[in-house]
Structure 1
């Protein structure tokens, strides 16, 4: 039965691991937190910044930022927002036990947060931090009076899920659905929908079927096979925009050889072949990226040779897309001592059919140049934790660049992993380059935008020359809805009820 006009039901491709907005920096968790919580600085769909709980911010010195808090904001339980809530949230966000991918990279520059007055805070950084407002747009502010001493599971049960967002949670059924209702304490523009339900439907075909049957009002990431039909059917609307999410492979740089990289008889190799630059170059040249984007994904992606997109700050025009060249790939493999290739396993999300399909296509391309490749599809629940432990020789990886600049990707995926400082939490390949580390540190503390951009470009060139990752494509974001609803497409891939409007 179609939902009433006051209700909105969304079929979502990604489900949150927790209602705790600090537990996991994943797309499903971010989608949910945008409904329940607010941030000092908010990021719009085009990735520009706008005031949130802070109405203004200014640089007091190279290492001090002052934020003026919005007056009159109340939590969903009626208590007023305080500067102490903000200080508590920033500290908590970097220290969540058992987080598979947390928020420490966004706050690692912060030395301390000071309460500067009844409606202001001062953030002191360890070094100049030019993109601190951008980083803070990722940190949800939680209520100290209910969250202090609580665990992430207390959010799932609703006790700690007290927020200042447009909605409040009424039911959280993990891996199934989240039910929300309008938050009467919300400080912003009144939300259109009385109630919002997120149903988590991992299979893209099932999502499209749910929309076609009227079980949901809107879906994200509709099946590419269904897009032509949805576009032509007057009962539905499709919106899209180029996205900020890059898909790449992260080859292992561990010294010891993995069972996932073996000789042609299946026996372990003496050393890890992926540490050889020529092998990584060969695998990159063996991939036909345009075929992946245009044929395998049927135009729902844009082929890429880097993780930034044209027109973005710190995009690097000098990095060209590696040419698809099987002859060169075979020559490089022979030069590296593998004239007959070897065996390799690509690890991929089992929960994303498009990722599995692309991984299978790449496996065939590599097999054609002598690297006999198979795909191991693994559920997300174990894939994330295993990847963080460097258990994969060649993981298939998806990364949304939420800050809109290369420093975010470089710091998370390619700087040397260090849990103490929050470096490299997504460095699944265990890549380590002291020169790159120093350059990124310098870039992240350079206040001059043009100088910092050049440093970030240099960092990307190092990554490209080392083939520290193998970029494949950037996703195009799609949403489909029934004809009575329009959705404002977002480059950041977020699916939010506040972006959906009812129309005649």
Structure 2
């Protein structure tokens, strides 16, 4: 299948694509011939948390994606700046076979890997780097993976670990992927942060030195900013990449992440111009930000979901009657009013209403304390039970105040005899333990990654994801069969029906309780230029500069 034919398939998936003219133009972007002269300006971002590392294939949150994937790295194909459109990245064009099982990527020549204090490349980017990046995730016996054995949750959650059967280097600038089954959103999936391309030469250097784990703390990529240093809970420092292959993207000579967990402190720093961009304001601070003439506050409806995951592998949460009781005893309206303070909309389904395939016919169970008590009695728990409820330690786009939400849930569940103990951990530990299934009930959430229902239903609820982002650890064959059916065809009507039916099963089985979709606000200094809110959550500094 040619790119033109592929364009027709992607239209069926309701993903915006480039026109023939713009695609041709995008494919012809030349790699820079020489080092660019960068503005002598420093851009400071007050970020909300410390990344667990920079090897983004092993992470699933925007904390790591902002600091690594969109700063240091590139991918074969990428989402446009502030967009859901797919555009050429390190691959300048691609072909898809007529049966949809082979993707051939033609790589961009002349792209340089970054030179750092710990690595000096001797060659440019080529097919070896693509093969290394994917083989490491695909093959448990791959030498670097054996030396540094870490999980790759997204790669597994999306079913790619099972579906990619072969990755071939056809020549130094051509790579072919072969799939077992049709994967309708494949291109969107590999535009995600986990698929950032690593340097095979750098990996070889680390392997020979016995320092494979350093790839997580000292990143090297082809991206717009070069990593310099990281002090946990303090700062991450980057330099602009003068050799970046895409002109006009790097607008600052230096980029600093000033890690500031407290949103009130972030705002004070922004007002004092100690940073020019900050993450996640408190809803209560929105009016004063809007009133400050030195600031601006773009916003958009969030492509996100905050929810309570029930670990269905642990008793009594393995009983659907118990999950239904917990679900219908939550005063969702009160939580949204208190926690989101006008910046959230009630959630019903396991994905936002702006996602195609959303089932509008579904409704929440009514808030009913007496019926919830009756369900617990029917489940053999007339006196209730003890439960640990995890609350995240940092502010997230889908949950501005997890501690307050947990306290309100604690009070709601006490009315039906459920005694919830609130616990928390440092953010990286919170996610790691959640992936391992140590929790009982857990506040968590999601921001869409590629604009397809599979990203919500498959990644958050599919059987392939039980060791990753399926925090409910829920593997239910009737549901999973529908997800795989939707993923395995490019027919839009068939995909939509599969996902609509899957949502009906979700609502009946309640593996998690959806709470809200939040509005995303982005406080900026008025001197910031070129900033666009990323619909998928991370904070990007492509084309961002200072007046």
Q: TM-score normalized by structure 1? A: 0.88
- 1:144 aligns with 200
Matched, 1:368 2:424: no
- 1:378 aligns with 425
In 2, Cα distance between the equivalents of 1:143 and 1:363? 48
**8 Å Cα contact 1:282/1:333 also seen in 2:** yes
Matched, 1:67 2:121: no
Task: Specify the SS of the correspondent of 1:81.
Answer: coil
Cα–Cα, structure 1 residues 63 and 241, in superposed 2: closer, same or farther, change >3 Å? same
In 2, Cα distance between the equivalents of 1:398 and 1:492? 13
Matched, 1:187 2:187: no
Shift of 1:500: 3.1
Cα–Cα, structure 1 residues 477 and 214, in superposed 2: closer, same or farther, change >3 Å? same
Counterparts of 1:155-304 in structure 2, within 5 Å, are 155=215, 158=218, 161-190=219-248, 191-254=250-313, 272-304=315-347
In 2, Cα distance between the equivalents of 1:367 and 1:240? 36
Matched, 1:87 2:131: yes
Matched, 1:319 2:362: yes
- 1:24 aligns with 59
Aligned residue among 492, 495, 499 for 1:449: 492
Task: Specify the SS of the correspondent of 2:284.
Answer: coil
Per-residue CA deviation, residues 276-307 of structure 1 (Å, 9 max, x unaligned), is 22221121112232332233221232220122
In 2, Cα distance between the equivalents of 1:152 and 1:251? 36
**8 Å Cα contact 1:15/1:28 also seen in 2:** yes
**8 Å Cα contact 2:311/2:474 also seen in 1:** yes
- 1:264 aligns with none
In 2, Cα distance between the equivalents of 1:432 and 1:116? 38
In 2, Cα distance between the equivalents of 1:277 and 1:25? 28
**8 Å Cα contact 1:443/1:455 also seen in 2:** yes
Shift of 1:205: 1.8
**8 Å Cα contact 2:349/2:514 also seen in 1:** yes
Worse overlay, 209-218 or 146-155: 146-155
Shift of 1:28: 1.2
- 2:532 aligns with 488
Task: Specify the SS of the correspondent of 1:66.
Answer: strand
Task: Specify the SS of the correspondent of 2:94.
Answer: strand
Cα–Cα, structure 1 residues 99 and 424, in superposed 2: closer, same or farther, change >3 Å? closer
Task: Specify the SS of the correspondent of 2:223.
Answer: coil
**8 Å Cα contact 1:54/1:70 also seen in 2:** yes
Shift of 1:461: 2.0
More strand by share: 1
Cα–Cα, structure 1 residues 247 and 64, in superposed 2: closer, same or farther, change >3 Å? same
Aligned residue among 343, 351, 355 for 2:394: 351
Tell me the number of residue pairs that the alignment of Structure 1 and Structure 2 aligns.
478
Unaligned runs of 5+ in 2: 1-38, 116-120, 139-144
In 2, Cα distance between the equivalents of 1:26 and 1:324? 32
In 2, Cα distance between the equivalents of 1:164 and 1:436? 40
Per-residue CA deviation, residues 61-94 of structure 1 (Å, 9 max, x unaligned), is 3211112222322212363111121111122245
- 1:261 aligns with none
Q: TM-score normalized by structure 2? A: 0.82
Shift of 1:464: 1.6
Task: Specify the SS of the correspondent of 1:30.
Answer: helix
- 2:142 aligns with none
Shift of 1:41: 0.9
Task: Specify the SS of the correspondent of 1:134.
Answer: helix
Shift of 1:168: 0.7
- 1:10 aligns with 45
**8 Å Cα contact 1:251/1:468 also seen in 2:** yes
Task: Specify the SS of the correspondent of 1:349.
Answer: coil
Matched, 1:104 2:140: no
**8 Å Cα contact 1:63/1:126 also seen in 2:** yes
Worse overlay, 384-393 or 82-91: 384-393
